[in-house]
Structure 1
Amino acid sequence: MRKLVMAAALALPMFGVPAMAQETVKIAYIDPLSGGGASIGEIGLKTFQFIAEELNAKGGLLGKKVEIVAFDNKTNPQESLIQAQKAIDAGIRILTQGNGSSVAGALTDFVSKYNERNPGKEVLYFNYAAVDPVLTNEKCNFWHFRWDANSDIKMEALTNYMKGTPSIKKLYLINQDYSFGESVRSAAKKMLAAKRPDIEIVGNELHPLLKITDFAPYIAKIKASGADSVITGNWGQDFALLLKAAADAGLKVNWYTYYAGGTGGPTAVKQANLNNQVFQISEGFANIDHPSSMAFEKALRAKYDFSLFYPRAVNQMRMLAAATEKAKSLEPVKIAAALEGMEFDVFNGGKGMMRKDDHQFFQPMYIATLGDLTKKEPFDEEKTGWGWKGIAKIETAQTMLPTTCKMERPK
């Protein structure tokens, strides 16, 4: 009897741990929390935690609480793989990441190989911001889903707007030196050559990612080139410091951007006095007249001292909830199957769709400009008194570009 009691006591922790683990659904947030990308990573983490609180207030995922667990990857691909393995070792089966397509490329390969070797223990990779087109083309795989528009989709929208702007005569390209920056500049050259061959590209430069502290030499080149407009995919401190240098040099050109709304960006725009001269392509912004997204924005700003940079993150998490309900399961393979082809009412209004062919999400896109607010626009950015104002909307159907993905699905 004594031996039976001891055996039962030893067995209790073995049965107890899985039962406790089932009380929460943990999602690994793998992004920079130190180094040059830390300010962006911290805001992303708090945003995901805020969205998790929203889901938990509505019952979580199939009645289980959602918990966001942070893993610092220092914007480094190799470190990201170490952190991904730590997350998996801790029993986490959903990973999310966004900052850096070089990181995303490493993660999607890692997840695909891990799942091949560990049937029945698969993990999902949810990409909320890494936009290199290769991720849903040559590198596409069943376990990767992207909620941000890829850089080609964004450039298609930007150049469609720019082709109707006759004042653009001379254009400078400046981007970060990695796969995303390369995709921005190559798409810009190709699309403008087709749509506005009269525009002269007077500079085409790549610089190290998140390592430049003084962009004055780069701004001097832009100034000397005679450019009237700049296209940049720079994000984080690489955008804010670029604009700071422009302000110091008195450079007054129009900026066509992907991420001017990121941390420090609006402040730099205001300091450069570029009123309605900085344009951003995105899936949404604070001042879209849509009651539910405005209510969310107001609640987020009441808790944190920043705006919603990632409407796509809200779409991602809400679609995860919808997929678990549809699948009646928390198993990654069933969630993935439920997400394929899913149509969804997106955060800022309108219809979105997760394309089954390549797991690229499509949604309405907006071009907005940052400048002095009117009374109709309630939200400013970074307490500058300047906010985003929409100047063009691209409907979902007009954002769809073809894919070369050849998806292999699990049997």
Structure 2
Amino acid sequence: MAKAFVLGAVMLCGLGAGIVAPALAEDTIKIGYVDPLSGGGASIGQIGLNQLKFIADDVNGKGGVLGKKIEIIGYDNKLSPQVTLVQVQKAIDEGVQIIVQGNGSSVGAAVESFVTKYNERNPGKAVVYLNYAAIDPSMTNQNCSYWHFSWDANVDIKLEALTNFMKTKKDIKKVYLIDQDYSFGHSVADTTVAMLKEKRPDIQIVGNEFHPLVKVTDFSPYIAKIKASGADTVVTGNWGQDLALLVKAAGDAGLKVNWYTFYAGGSGGPTAIKQANLPDQVYQLTEGFNNLPYKPAQEVVRAYIARYKSEPIYYPRLFNLTGMVFEAMKEANSADPAKFAPKLEGMKYATFASGQEGFMRKDDHQFFQPLYMSVFGALDAASQPFDEESTGWGWKMAAEIPTKDTLYPTTCKMKRPN
């Protein structure tokens, strides 16, 4: 099993939209980071960039990978699929063969299709797409691509775990769904309805609402509908400002329900939960959180927050992604995607957050790992040392789902290059 890199085997730094970081050496490995760095998605994109910059600084300080330094070129996609494709082509024109993207499944689907077609038309010039957050199941099912690898659990995997947890909560009687109006949001809503109907047919779905992606600044009308429905529980796939502003509006309206989320830990989320006074009422399903009792990861968390005072390590999976990719490069003795991509297939890896084993499934290039349900509230400082956004509150363990219990079938029919 490949060993998890704590600080030394990860990958990115970047300076902003279309700005090329200074080359660290004449012989470098170029990586294009394509995510929102302006507009409504900027806060969540910047968190990823900061985290990756932190890790990359350590990698380069230790000599880089294969004796090469990492050169990061940041591209602002403004959370637009159309802008993204322009930026990906620009990256390729500048010699980038590794594209990293995560925020927005509509964006991710566009990148996946573009990279696949590009490689078909340009043999010998392979580009690989490393996905850390776009989780529409179609990306690793019917639209799966050899040139796409996904390190975040997809919607089906996450909701299987989340609804298994919810079905044990007998106090859940009425559920309201609210999601962003694009492919990912609809996938969350449809899958939640189907799984709850199967596992808890007594639960009433009293609302199923969609809203524009990162365009709503006042969620009070939506919260009014939730209050009027009599819901005791909200399930949402919202992320970024759409999650933080939704919870803020709930606090302003005095809505006291339980929340089940994937992304409540993102920028502004913890602050909104604390201000809404929702102790132990907001749950989040992730591949890790800062208060997991795993010493190697906690040492990195301390070093990270010493640099970014009010910011958590929000993407533990980025350590998994970059650690595995650099391990694959070393095994292949090459930074050429055509040579290192086969090394990723089936790779086992000790995950950053807990040290427990995960693996990259060859069939669909979906990474499987332990998942954790955590809840946000007051901490026991002795055993839970990390708060979020200087709120005094933090994430605490509610349930652990081992890797073997996250396995979910795929319909992928992988077409591999000759």
TM-score, normalised via structure 1 length: 0.94
Q: How far apart in 2 are the matches of 1:213 and 1:357?
A: 41
Q: How far apart in 1 are the matches of 2:117 and 2:192?
A: 33
Query: Which one of 389, 396, 414 corresponds to residue 407 of structure 1?
Result: 414
Counterpart in 1 of 2:339?
334
* 8 Å Cα contact 2:24-2:70 kept in structure 1: no
Shift of residue 391, structure 1, vs aligned partner: 1.0
Structure 1 residue 358 corresponds to structure 2 residue 364:
yes
Shift of residue 22, structure 1, vs aligned partner: 5.8
Query: Does the residue aligned with 1:284 lie in a helix, a strand or coil?
Result: coil
Query: Which one of 392, 398, 405 corresponds to residue 399 of structure 2?
Result: 392
Query: Does the residue aligned with 1:357 lie in a helix, a strand or coil?
Result: coil
Q: What amino acid maps onto 1:401 in structure 2?
A: Y
Unpaired segments ≥5 residues, structure 1: 1-18
The 5 Å alignment of 1:54-133 reads 54-133=58-137
Counterpart in 1 of 2:386?
379
Q: How far apart in 2 are the matches of 1:313 and 1:377?
A: 23
Shift of residue 67, structure 1, vs aligned partner: 2.4
* 8 Å Cα contact 1:37-1:236 kept in structure 2: yes
- Of residues 50-59 and 123-132 in structure 1, the stretch that sits farther from structure 2 once superposed is 50-59
Q: How many pairs align?
A: 393
Q: What amino acid maps onto 1:336 in structure 2?
A: A
Query: Which one of 247, 250, 268 corresponds to residue 246 of structure 1?
Result: 250
Q: How far apart in 2 are the matches of 1:58 and 1:324?
A: 16
Query: Does the residue aligned with 1:380 lie in a helix, a strand or coil?
Result: coil
The 5 Å alignment of 1:8-407 reads 23-305=27-309, 306-348=311-353, 349-375=355-381, 376-407=383-414
Q: How far apart in 2 are the matches of 1:138 and 1:52?
A: 34
Shift of residue 315, structure 1, vs aligned partner: 0.5
Query: Does the residue aligned with 2:398 lie in a helix, a strand or coil?
Result: strand
TM-score, normalised via structure 2 length: 0.93
Counterpart in 2 of 1:10?
none
Shift of residue 370, structure 1, vs aligned partner: 0.3
Residues 70-122 of structure 1: CA deviation (Å, up to 9, x unaligned): 10000000000000001000001000000000000000000000000111111
Shift of residue 55, structure 1, vs aligned partner: 2.2
Q: CA RMSD in A?
A: 1.2
Shift of residue 68, structure 1, vs aligned partner: 2.2
Counterpart in 2 of 1:15?
none
Q: How far apart in 2 are the matches of 1:160 and 1:409?
A: 35
* 8 Å Cα contact 2:128-2:337 kept in structure 1: yes
Q: 1:49 to 1:196 in 2, by over 3 A?
A: same
- Name the % identity: 62
Query: Does the residue aligned with 2:207 lie in a helix, a strand or coil?
Result: strand
Residues 123-162 of structure 1: CA deviation (Å, up to 9, x unaligned): 0000000010000001101000000000111111110000
Unpaired segments ≥5 residues, structure 2: 1-22
Q: How far apart in 1 are the matches of 2:122 and 2:279?
A: 54
Q: How far apart in 1 are the matches of 2:273 and 2:24?
A: 49
Q: How far apart in 2 are the matches of 1:152 and 1:322?
A: 28
Moved over 6 A (4+): none
* 8 Å Cα contact 2:37-2:76 kept in structure 1: yes
* 8 Å Cα contact 1:23-1:65 kept in structure 2: yes
Q: How far apart in 1 are the matches of 2:39 and 2:337?
A: 32
Structure of higher CA gyration radius: 1
Counterpart in 2 of 1:12?
none
Q: How far apart in 2 are the matches of 1:68 and 1:275?
A: 40
Counterpart in 1 of 2:3?
none
Q: What amino acid maps onto 1:187 in structure 2?
A: T
Query: Does the residue aligned with 1:149 lie in a helix, a strand or coil?
Result: coil
* 8 Å Cα contact 2:24-2:71 kept in structure 1: no
Bigger RCO (CA 8 Å, 6+ sep) = 2
* 8 Å Cα contact 2:265-2:314 kept in structure 1: yes
Q: How far apart in 1 are the matches of 2:361 and 2:234?
A: 32
Q: How far apart in 2 are the matches of 1:290 and 1:53?
A: 23
Q: What amino acid maps onto 1:311 in structure 2?
A: P
* 8 Å Cα contact 1:275-1:370 kept in structure 2: yes
Shift of residue 54, structure 1, vs aligned partner: 2.6
* 8 Å Cα contact 1:52-1:68 kept in structure 2: no
Q: What amino acid maps onto 1:399 in structure 2?
A: T
Q: How far apart in 2 are the matches of 1:118 and 1:52?
A: 30
Query: Does the residue aligned with 2:373 lie in a helix, a strand or coil?
Result: strand
